[in-house]
Amino acid sequence: MGKALIIGAGGVASVAIHKCVQNSEVFEEICIASRTKSKCDELKAKLDGGKTKITTAQVDANNVEELIALINEVKPDIVMNLALPYQDLTIMDACLATKTHYMDTANYEPEDTAKFEYKWQWEYRERFEKAGITALLGSGFDPGVTGVFSAYALKHHFDEIEYIDILDCNAGDHGYPFATNFNPEINIREVSANGRYWEKGEWVETKPMEIKRVYNFPEVGEKDMYLLYHEELESLAVNIPGLKRIRFFMTFGQSYLTHLKCLENVGMTSIEPIEFEGKQIIPLQFLKAVLPDPASLGPRTKGKTNIGCIFKGKKDGKDKTYYVYNVCDHEACYKEVGSQAVSYTTGVPAMIGAMMILQGHWNKPGVYNIEQFDPDPFMDALNKWGLPWQENFNPVPVDEYPSEEDTKKVLETELV
């Protein structure tokens, strides 16, 4: 059916590439291109021999001219951007210049400011429309599947959604005292920033990790979770009409938080360059170099992830709640594609997003967030390609579990 140029050969790309190869009817040909070509060649060596034809290339995705030359050579139907958020705009520029469809899993973030937002990519709308090509933004899990879940809830279960809580639980244990499950630089930038949620048309800012809840996740059990700002809040607040509040919670273990606090206190999470032995270094990038490579966590990680959305709103004039989630097992993911569940839950939706465009379900010219498309073919594909979802029409709301009293008790216990 089509040809994809995949940029990046890290944790997420590796899963997406495994899935493209499993789905050779749609992905007849793929070219894997990244900064370090040997990683692309390793993936090719592992996966060659099936029906999907695989080629590899070296590219610096910060360089638009290099990207244009590569796209002109490979002539893909779509570019799958699975590099880092810093490369989003250069890759979009190259797609515009070559009239090629684009997709990614994370919104643009300038390398020198920890400020990720959609405004830069939304500015490309008119140009993509005029060029007759589609840009699909945020086709991972969160953002990604959480947006598809929202569109699905609105289409099938509600007349109006008033409240959304996105709950991201990773109960995986890799046995290290401190490691991040995906790119440490991106991960730490995300969790050390202020929290933020959207209520009654306004953003409410919190200190990092200021708001804590405890939740009993299906198939996982009780976990502490903290309110964070997460990029899909920005687009869902705009794209779900009538929304009164949207929040995002992520689980963290106490050991992770204690290490992070300590690293922050000594300045290791800073993105301000410092001089070290006559050389400018960025502490956070140095920290990334000393931490375990997320790809190496795969064989060590046990346990499950549970990511989903709880919706509250109105149907036929009555109050209604609905929880839709996916549970993913780290060891099962590793057995299937050689990666843990965090890369798996992002790489599978990346393949599905590209498939939606290649199959023609989602190709309308312009720049779109994932919730702006028909969720049904994507929801079907989740069940087929390894991320089956489950529903609960009577979930315990986040603020009711456990009672305020119990939460206070948990906090007091920690202080002792």
| Among 54, 1, 58, CA closest to 26 | 1
Q: Which two tokens stand for residue 263?
A: 């690293």
Regarding 246 and contact with ligand NDP (CB under 6 A), the answer is no
Alpha-carbon span 217 to 305, nearest angstrom: 9
Residue pair 389/383 in contact (Cβ under 8 Å)? The answer is yes
Regarding 85 and contact with ligand NDP (CB under 6 A), the answer is yes
Regarding 18 and contact with ligand NDP (CB under 6 A), the answer is no
Among 74, 78, 84, 352, binds ligand NDP (CB under 6 A): 84
Alpha-carbon span 84 to 75, nearest angstrom: 22
Whichever of 107 and 134 has its CB closer to ligand NDP, that residue is 107
Regarding 68 and contact with ligand NDP (CB under 6 A), the answer is no
Where does this chain touch ligand NDP (CB under 6 A) — which range of 11-19, 93-101, 248-256, 356-364?
11-19
DSSP 264-329: HHTTTT--S-EEETTEEE-HHHHHHHHSPPGGGGGGG-BSEEEEEEEEEEEETTEEEEEEEEEEEE
Regarding 16 and contact with ligand NDP (CB under 6 A), the answer is no
**Closest CB 97 distance from ligand NDP, rounded Å:** 17
Residue 212 CB-half CA count within 13 A: 18
Residues between 287 and 326 with contacts to ligand NDP, criterion CB under 6 A = 294
**Closest CB 141 distance from ligand NDP, rounded Å:** 4
Binding mask 48-67 for ligand NDP (x = CB under 6 A): -----------xxxx-----
**Which residue number places its CB atom closest to ligand NDP?**
10
Alpha-carbon span 346 to 80, nearest angstrom: 13
Among 100, 180, 183, 251, binds ligand NDP (CB under 6 A): 183
Regarding 235 and contact with ligand NDP (CB under 6 A), the answer is no
Q: Distance between alpha carbon 38 and the CA centroid of its chain, in Å?
A: 25
Alpha-carbon span 140 to 230, nearest angstrom: 13
The burial of 359, by beta-carbon neighbours within 10 Å (0-12 exposed, 13-18 middle, 19 or more buried), is given as middle
Regarding 76 and contact with ligand NDP (CB under 6 A), the answer is no
Regarding 386 and contact with ligand NDP (CB under 6 A), the answer is no
Whichever of 36 and 258 has its CB closer to ligand NDP, that residue is 36
Among 3, 5, 11, 351, binds ligand NDP (CB under 6 A): 11
Alpha-carbon span 198 to 162, nearest angstrom: 12
Strand ranges across the sheet with 2-7: 53-58, 27-34, 2-7, 78-81, 101-104, 134-137, 366-369
Among 4, 5, 12, 136, binds ligand NDP (CB under 6 A): 12
Binding mask 111-140 for ligand NDP (x = CB under 6 A): -----------------------------x
Regarding 234 and contact with ligand NDP (CB under 6 A), the answer is no
**Closest CB 405 distance from ligand NDP, rounded Å:** 34
Regarding 141 and contact with ligand NDP (CB under 6 A), the answer is yes
Whichever of 21 and 307 has its CB closer to ligand NDP, that residue is 307
Distances (CA, A) of 126 to 106, 130, 368: 21, 6, 11
| Among 128, 130, 150, CA closest to 141 | 150
Regarding 336 and contact with ligand NDP (CB under 6 A), the answer is no
Residue pair 200/272 in contact (Cβ under 8 Å)? The answer is no
Which residues are near ligand NDP by CB under 6 A?
7-13, 34-36, 39, 59-62, 82-85, 87, 105-106, 140-144, 182-183, 186, 294, 346
